[in-house]
Chains A and B, each alone.
Chain A
């Protein structure tokens, strides 16, 4: 019996592996078909997918709604801007390291404050802490440039030289897309493993039933803390990857409406699925890009979209499609 279940799981997992590999290959081939602008958008999408994956480790798997994840994203981005300006670092790998370390430390500090709280108290604590960072980024303008922000030049990637001259924009976007794609694939794999590991199960157990989790001997606070740090660091990594693409960072990406956008994209994809925030990140990027381009009232469009999502597909895009697929396959099996 047990062996049979194991075999079924193995088949399902190898199927998943093949599908993921195919998607990765398609993502790898897309820049050859798409133009520079579309490639840029897709790179943004992958970056927001990483941010959403991090956020959803807390929301979907641990059952904690953070309203301060902009702080991690923004600090990851600011760390790159500082390192590039003040330390003269041009190498993307070193910038990544700086970004990850900074957001790791920030998540540890936030985590110490937040991991004892749940529900709305947790949300308000995250919000208050992130707003402190936002206020500081605005007011310490001698360091951060205040509301004008800071600009960031294109870094060098791996052994490639700096990007200049004609066609530099196109070359940079093209190369950087692959850079993001590789990191994206690594992070998706790691997070998938994490979510299906014994620790991932422990997080879900805490989400489902805190009391019982305590009564099987789980140290709830410690597990929440670890989950928080991983979540914050991953969202921070997204911010780190994001800033070389925009070339500019302002306190807006530390402000709480940006935390709302991370929440938005996660729910758009569906927080009850592992792949929800990935799809959500990409879909949100396109939705926002086209809403911003077509109307000055893009927030209005996003708001209406949000209401429609909640009303018409509360389990997000992934939830909608998986129930459609389930309905379709059961019908074809019957027929």
Chain B
């Protein structure tokens, strides 16, 4: 069943067309990777889908409903969440509070004024469970700003995960993380996502990770989709690989 669908999505900044006529869809329960050279428009696409940007043209459908004009918070309500390329956290709050914030926002507890947040055992326990799921249970009382880079990226994903979305966008969850930790992070994310049956779209540069963890790969270059298929097909397509790898050469 199609969960998310885009129709002729387009976005430009002045002369620069960053997302050009993109139509694709994601099925329920799929883990899709978005790959392509830097500046190909992957993050812009995710920004459009999460309402961080408004498209100039085109439509976004979620569960068959047109959500193009919905705001960030409205999209979160219907179950679309995202993480960020550069860890985007509540720096002064503890890791546990970062998660509990998502949970209480999700469960409509934002406007609870006169009861102690840390006495809400329901929220606290759930937040604790999510922290353990992401292997951060020993960091629960540490302010987010004092966490290591890899831990911050994990927490960033965990904050989005705690919203219990049906669709989760992950913008380079392993960037800025040492190669050693990349697999660990992806294992964690992948098992969390698959256990809950969450549909995910991941932007990723590391092709080993992409081939290992995704059900399907969408290749984007110059704002357009140039290939779309299961990992084995993409791996064998030399032209596509050279576009992707060429970009990584440039990156270095």
Contact = CB atoms under 8 A, between A and B. Distances in A.
Contacts of B104: 198, 201-202
A199 B75 CA distance: 22
A194 B159 CA distance: 23
Interface string B111-141: 1111111101101110010000000010011
A196 interface: yes
Contacts, number: 108
A199 B110 contact: yes
Interface string A1-45: 110011001000100000000000000000000000000000000
A208 interface: yes
B114 A208 contact: no
A67 to B, nearest CB: 23
A325 B73 CA distance: 43
Given A201-B100, A216-B163, A217-B76, A5 B140 contact: yes
Contacts of B120: 198
B166 interface: no
Interface string B219-242: 000000000000000000000000
A190 B114 contact: yes
A209 B118 contact: no
B89 interface: yes
B191 interface: no
B97 interface: yes
A201 B120 CA distance: 13
Interface string B53-92: 0000000000000000000110011000110100011111
B90 A212 contact: yes
A198 B108 CA distance: 10
Nearest to B50: A215
Interface in A48-91: none
Contacts of A209: 88-91
Given A2-B124, A205-B93, A212-B90, A197 B73 contact: no
Interface string B37-61: 0000000000000100000000000
Nearest to A230: B113
B77 A217 contact: yes
Interface residues of A, number: 32
Nearest to B111: A199
Contacts of A223: 110
B101 interface: yes
A69 to B, nearest CB: 21
A325 B207 CA distance: 52
A214 interface: yes
Interface in B169-203: none
Contacts of A9: 118
A56 to B, nearest CB: 15
Which of A200, A209, A215 counts the most B-chain CB atoms under 10 A from its CB? A215
Contacts of A213: 90
Interface residues on B, range: 35 or more
A190 B76 CA distance: 31
A1 B132 CA distance: 10
A157 interface: no
A322 interface: no
Contacts of A198: 100, 104, 109-110, 112, 115, 117, 120, 123
Which of A198, A199, A202, A213 counts the most B-chain CB atoms under 10 A from its CB? A198
B172 to A, nearest CB: 16
B124 A193 contact: no
Contacts of A218: 73, 105, 110
A200 B159 contact: no
Contacts of B72: 214-215, 217
A219 interface: yes
Given A1-B137, A204-B92, A209-B90, A216 B116 contact: no
A1 B141 CA distance: 11
A211 interface: yes
Contact of B115 (A13, A197, A217, A226): A197
B121 to A, nearest CB: 7
Contacts of A216: 76, 101-102, 105-106, 159, 163
Nearest to B77: A217
Given A193-B114, A199-B112, A214 B73 contact: yes
A142 B125 CA distance: 62
Interface string B152-164: 0000000110010
| 9 tightest A-B CB contacts, nearest first | A217-B76, A2-B128, A208-B90, A198-B112, A205-B90, A198-B104, A212-B88, A216-B102, A193-B114
Given A2-B128, A209-B90, 14 more contacts: A2-B125, A5-B140, A197-B112, A197-B116, A198-B123, A201-B100, A201-B104, A204-B92, A205-B90, A209-B89, A215-B72, A216-B105, A217-B72, A218-B110
7 contacts: A1-B128, A202-B105, A212-B90, A215-B82, A215-B88, A217-B77, A217-B105
